[in-house]
């Protein structure tokens, strides 16, 4: 049984060393950085421009749909890369090919649906 807990001790040691490296880096940054706060540095700004007006603004839901479509196609890429690597393995060729075309068919159906709803038009 001692060998079993020695493995956990090694993991714990690595976690402690990693935490010490991060803490050391943050501590060195705090000690070495210049700290000269001025009134201009402490003002609120957004993208380098002083904020004007009320903080509440309406945003189009369309932008969230674009973000959602991006996530869908990013997940598509996550599935396509492993598929491309296993496709050449013996015994997986036709099975993976059919599965991936079914998957791409679902994505194409969703893309056609989004196009018919007018979601993909930018303006």
pLDDT digits (tens, 9 = 90+) for 44-101: 776 666 667 676 767 777 777 778 778 877 887 787 777 777 776 777 777 777 888 8
pTM of the model: 0.42
Q: Which phi and psi (to 5°) does residue 88 adopt?
A: -85, -5
Q: How far apart are CA 90 and CA 82, in angstroms?
A: 15
Task: Give the angle subtended at the CA of 80 by the CAs of 75 and 81, to the nearest 5°.
Answer: 105
Can you name the residues that pair with 49 across neighbouring β-strands? 46
pLDDT top residue among 115 and 60: 115
Element (H, E) at 13: helix 2-32
Residue from 51, 103, 99, 50 nearest 77 by CA = 103
Listed by start position, the domains of the chain span: 61-117
């Amino acid at each position: 049984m001692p060998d079993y807990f020695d493995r956990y001790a090694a993991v714990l040691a690595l976690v402690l060393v990693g935490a010490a490296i991060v803490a050391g880096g943050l501590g060195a940054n705090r000690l070495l950085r210049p700290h000269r706060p001025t009134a201009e540095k402490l003002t609120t700004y957004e993208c380098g421009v002083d904020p004007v007006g009320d903080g509440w603004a309406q945003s189009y839901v369309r932008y969230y749909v674009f973000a959602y479509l991006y996530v869908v196609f990013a997940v598509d890429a996550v599935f396509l890369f492993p598929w491309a690597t296993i496709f050449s393995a013996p015994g997986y060729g036709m099975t993976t090919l059919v599965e991936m075309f079914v998957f791409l068919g679902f994505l194409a159906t969703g893309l056609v649906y989004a196009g018919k709803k007018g979601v993909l038009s930018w303006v």
